[in-house]
């Protein structure tokens, strides 16, 4: 059996992303923000990288871990829930892990929750002993049940998991939850979170030994920069020297500021890159502490 993923020698990096669905557009937007442009094939399943030797495969979310394991793609943007389920499946089968999470990407957030009928009085995992739990994530559920020392039947369903209790297929469910509206509509309530999920960048456990290593390092640097700047703003203001210390105490999320003396005055001009939301309330607090001429500017790009 040939070694997986990282063994093939290539000079282009290949990334798999969701073709359609909630992760597709944000994934493309993130890669575009990293300076990548693509030319789509006629079947819209492959995108050739034009600015860098980085190409895209447009596939189903569930297929991405398998493509990583087979070496068809080098990186993938996938839900943590999908990556974790397939990792648990490999572990249960005695297979080595071949893909791992490299970066959390901050979009597509949801939870993998166990939910029970509203009328249940929840006392703990022991209530599942001898009962049936319907889910599309059987390996994660079985691993959790094993950790709890509970014997229960796992009913594997590929869709409409939330209606399983009403149809008599199961006593409880384990499914992805965002707002909880679907659970409420089916008279269910979440009682246990197995996993907090979001989109992640997944890659091989073994390092590349060809040109892909430098390409991946470049991509990760750009991704880190883009994600760091999502809530970042450049704050500029003036203040008297004796006010600077208390002003900086109000900016715990700021990098070390640039401080310059205004020509011919005792006033200082400061600019700081802040990584938290710059609300009106924060600006009022800064003004009250002695800041004047406050300006908040967007930051398009940064590179360490």
Give 241-278 pLDDT, tens digit per residue: 999 999 999 999 899 999 999 987 889 999 999 988 88
Count up the domains in the chain and report the number. Answer: 3
Among the listed residues 111, 300, 265, 280, the one whose alpha carbon sits nearest the alpha carbon of residue 191: 111
Q: Determine the Cα–Cα distance for residues 21 and 197; give it in Å rounded to an integer.
A: 16
Residue 24 lies in a domain: yes
Residue 6, pLDDT above cutoff 70: no
104-125: per-residue pLDDT in tens?
999 999 999 999 999 999 999 9
Based on the domain organization, do 212 and 258 belong to the same domain? no
- Residue 73 is classified by DSSP as -
Answer whether residue 227 shows pLDDT above 90. Answer: no
Q: Give the integer Cα–Cα distance in Å for 243 and 249.
A: 10
Residue 187 lies in a domain: yes
166/211 same-domain check: no
Residue 196's pLDDT is what?
95
Average pLDDT for the chain: 91
Q: Domain span at residue 120? A: 110-197
**Helices 138-148 and 80-92, axial angle in degrees (round to 10):** 70
Residue 303 belongs to a domain: no
Residue that the structure tokens 């790009």 belong to: 301
Give this prediction's pTM. 0.78
Q: Is the dihedral of CA 218, 219, 221, 226 positive or negative?
A: positive
Residues 167 and 19 in one domain: no
- Report DSSP state, residue 199: E
Rounded Cα gap, residues 94 and 116, in angstroms:
32
Do 17 and 102 lie in one domain? The reply is yes
**134: number of CA atoms within 13 Å, CB side?**
20
Confirm whether 282 is domain-assigned.
yes
Are residues 144 and 77 part of one domain?
no
Residue 2: partners with Cβ closer than 8 Å, 6 or more residues away: none
Domain assignment of residue 304, yes or no: no
Q: CA angle, corner 44, sides to 40 and 50, nearest 5?
A: 15
CATH value at residue 168: 3.40.190.10
Confidence of residue 21 (pLDDT cuts 50, 70, 90): confident
- Mean pLDDT of the region 287-300: 92
Q: Are residues 185 and 238 in the same domain?
A: no
Please report which residue ranges of the chain form alpha helices under DSSP H. 24-33, 64-70, 80-92, 138-148, 164-167, 181-185, 212-228, 244-249, 280-288
* DSSP H or E run through 274: strand 268-274
Based on the domain organization, do 94 and 147 belong to the same domain? no
Backbone φ, ψ for residue 84 (5° rounding): -65, -40
Q: Pick the last residue of a domain from 182, 197, 212.
A: 197
SS3 294: strand
- Asked if residues 86 and 45 have their Cβ atoms less than 8 Å apart, the reply is no
Residues 79 and 224 in one domain: yes
Pairing of strands 258-261, 110-117: unpaired
CATH number of the domain residue 237 falls in: 3.30.70.120
């Amino acid at each position: 059996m040939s070694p997986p993923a990282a063994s093939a020698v290539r000079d282009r990096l290949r990334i798999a992303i969701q073709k359609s669905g909630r992760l597709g557009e944000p994934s493309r937007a993130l890669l575009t923000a990293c300076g990548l442009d693509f030319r789509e094939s006629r079947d819209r399943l492959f995108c050739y990288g034009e600015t860098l030797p980085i190409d895209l495969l447009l596939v189903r979310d569930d297929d991405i871990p398998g493509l990583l394991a087979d070496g068809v793609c080098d990186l993938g943007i996938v839900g943590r829930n999908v990556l974790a389920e397939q990792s648990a499946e490999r572990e249960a089968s005695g297979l080595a892990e071949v893909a791992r999470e490299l970066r959390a990407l901050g979009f597509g957030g949801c939870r993998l929750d166990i939910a029970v009928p509203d009328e249940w009085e929840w006392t703990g995992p022991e209530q599942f002993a001898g009962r049936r739990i319907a889910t599309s994530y059987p390996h994660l559920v079985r691993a959790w049940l094993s950790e709890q020392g509970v014997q229960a039947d796992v009913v594997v369903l590929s869709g409409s998991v939330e209606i399983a209790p009403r149809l008599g297929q199961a006593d409880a469910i384990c499914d992805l939850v965002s707002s909880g509206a679907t659970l409420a509509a089916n008279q269910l309530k979440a009682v246990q979170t197995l996993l907090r999920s979001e989109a992640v960048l997944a890659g091989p456990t073994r390092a590349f030994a060809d040109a892909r290593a430098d390409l991946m390092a470049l991509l990760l640097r750009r991704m880190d920069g883009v994600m760091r700047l999502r809530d970042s703003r450049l704050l500029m203001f003036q203040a008297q020297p004796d006010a600077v210390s208390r002003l900086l105490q109000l900016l715990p999320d700021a990098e070390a500021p640039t401080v310059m003396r205004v020509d011919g005055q005792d006033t200082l001009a400061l600019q700081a890159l802040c990584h938290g939301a710059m609300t009106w309330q924060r600006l009022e607090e800064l003004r009250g502490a002695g800041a004047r001429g406050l300006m908040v500017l967007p930051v398009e790009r940064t590179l360490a």
